[in-house]
Amino acid sequence: HMVTVRYADGKGWYEPRVEARGPIPMDPASAVLHYAQEIFEGLKAYTTPDGGVAMFRPDANANRFNQSAARMAMPALPVETFLQSLHEIIKIDRQWIPEDPEGSLYLRPFAYASEVFLGVRPANEYLYLVIASPVGPYFSGGVKPVSIWVTPDFTRAAPGGTGAAKCGGNYAAGLSAQAEASEHGCDQVVYLDAVERKYIDELGGMNVFLVLDDGSLITPPLTGTILPGITRDSVIKLAERAGRKVEERPISLEEWRSGAASGRVREAFACGTAAVITPIGTIKSEGGDFTVADGGSGEVTMAIRKELVDIQRGRAEDPFGWVHKVL
Ligand code: PMP
């Protein structure tokens, strides 16, 4: 199915509908086709041990959606409307939630400029939609470290750009970089900052953490060029609650490389909705390849992963009230 809600200036959001999923009529002069005014979110619904259905921190997705909207000169969607649209799609598509306790129903809320005109200005009409798609476990047969390629050719976002927004254009611009990573035999691309080409920003679809030898965590700061990941935020809160020091600060590729050689950097992991947390194995770059420790699944990484997954799946206490029951 799909949920749709329309927007027009002066009218606000109107006409919420749940209908069979199918083609949406689109005029060739629809603004989004020309100027890419489009934003989206991604989150999962899954069954809990009591047979119910839950989502993880959907309010955080709603807030990020509205931050993306503000950056793309689009109207904010009431958080209530966002949450209700997710409830509606889950209710009607519940049969698509996989039986597998590690599987889930991936939810994709998005909005685009639907107004028909060819001038360059923010549109006055938008369409918000939600579609859903079942996904199996990200890792079948155990967690496997990802290999990453440090792209020398591409940047993801410059200061003042759209790096902190979840807009389609960011991902269009990343496709060549991802292809480059694949050519080098890597699973994911890692971007360096656009100004000095020195500091780690993030992966194509995940944020990065390093675990240091004193047990503390470091992760690149939210300076507007990386996506403020909800998993990233959750990792920080869980680690701090467990008494771990977490520093949000610039991390250069050289600090990573030399720290891996000296043992100062003990583990590296990436995090995002899809994989939750995955160890980073080999780091390939023009300056040479390296691994952190043996490139395997680090102890701290796997402990944080278990803690987070157990909270999400309702197998552990939820100290922050993150799990949002739907059914
Ligand atoms: N960075 C990018 C570029 C992403 O696409 C994602 C996935 N949404 C993330 C980080 C991780 O964000 P989250 O934890 O909210 O999924």
Pairing of the two strands 276-284 and 265-272: antiparallel
Task: Check which CATH number belongs to the domain holding 115 and give it.
Answer: 3.30.470.10
Task: Check which CATH number belongs to the domain holding 260 and give it.
Answer: 3.20.10.10
Query: At which of 135, 154, 187 does a domain end?
Result: 135
Residue nearest to atom 12 of ligand 1 (CA): 229
- Please tell me if the CB atom of residue 207 comes closer than 6 angstroms to any atom of ligand 1: yes
Number of structural domains (the chain) is 2
Residue nearest to atom 7 of ligand 1 (CA): 205
- Please tell me if the CB atom of residue 227 comes closer than 6 angstroms to any atom of ligand 1: yes
Based on the fold, state whether residues 73 and 186 are members of the same structural domain.
no
Based on the fold, state whether residues 188 and 125 are members of the same structural domain.
no
Q: Give the SS3 label for residue 209.
A: strand
Q: How far is the CA of 116 from the centre of ligand 1 (A)?
A: 31
Residue nearest to atom 3 of ligand 1 (CA): 205
Q: How far is the CA of 202 from the centre of ligand 1 (A)?
A: 9
Query: At which of 84, 102, 135 does a domain end?
Result: 135
How far apart are the C-alpha atoms of 30 and 14, rounded to whole Å? 19
- Please tell me if the CB atom of residue 229 comes closer than 6 angstroms to any atom of ligand 1: yes
Based on the fold, state whether residues 248 and 281 are members of the same structural domain.
yes
Question: Could you tell me how many residues make up the chain?
Answer: 327
Based on the fold, state whether residues 92 and 200 are members of the same structural domain.
no
Query: ipTM beyond 0.95?
Result: yes
Is the pLDDT at 140 greater than 80? The verdict is no
| 241-272 tens-digit pLDDT | 999 999 999 999 999 999 999 999 999 999 99
Give the mean model confidence (pLDDT) for residues 173-192. 97
Which of 166, 206, 225, 304 gets mutated to test ligand 1 (max ligand atoms within 8 A of its CB)? Answer: 206
Based on the fold, state whether residues 80 and 129 are members of the same structural domain.
yes
In angstroms, how far is the first alpha carbon of the chain from the final one? 18
Residue nearest to atom 2 of ligand 1 (CA): 205
Is the pLDDT at 11 greater than 80? The verdict is yes
Which of 207, 277, 304 gets mutated to test ligand 1 (max ligand atoms within 8 A of its CB)? Answer: 207
Is the pLDDT at 142 greater than 90? The verdict is no
The model's pTM: 0.97
Based on the fold, state whether residues 117 and 213 are members of the same structural domain.
no
* Domain membership of residue 207 as a residue range: 146-312
Based on the fold, state whether residues 188 and 304 are members of the same structural domain.
yes
Q: Which residues lie below 8 Å from residue 251, measured CB to CB, with a gap of 6+?
A: 199, 200, 208, 210, 218, 219, 220
Is the pLDDT at 95 greater than 80? The verdict is yes
Residue nearest to atom 9 of ligand 1 (CA): 206
Q: Which residues of 292-307 are buried (b: 16+ CB within 10 A; e: fewer)?
A: bbebbbbebbbebbeb
Q: How far is the CA of 161 from the centre of ligand 1 (A)?
A: 17
Based on the fold, state whether residues 70 and 202 are members of the same structural domain.
no
Based on the fold, state whether residues 128 and 150 are members of the same structural domain.
no
Confidence of residue 5 (pLDDT cuts 50, 70, 90): very high
Question: How many CA atoms are closer than 13 Å to the CA of 6, on its beta-carbon side?
Answer: 12
Give the mean model confidence (pLDDT) for residues 199-208. 97
Give the mean model confidence (pLDDT) for residues 132-137. 94
Is residue 326 a part of any domain in this protein? no
Is residue 319 a part of any domain in this protein? no
Query: At which of 135, 164, 180 does a domain end?
Result: 135
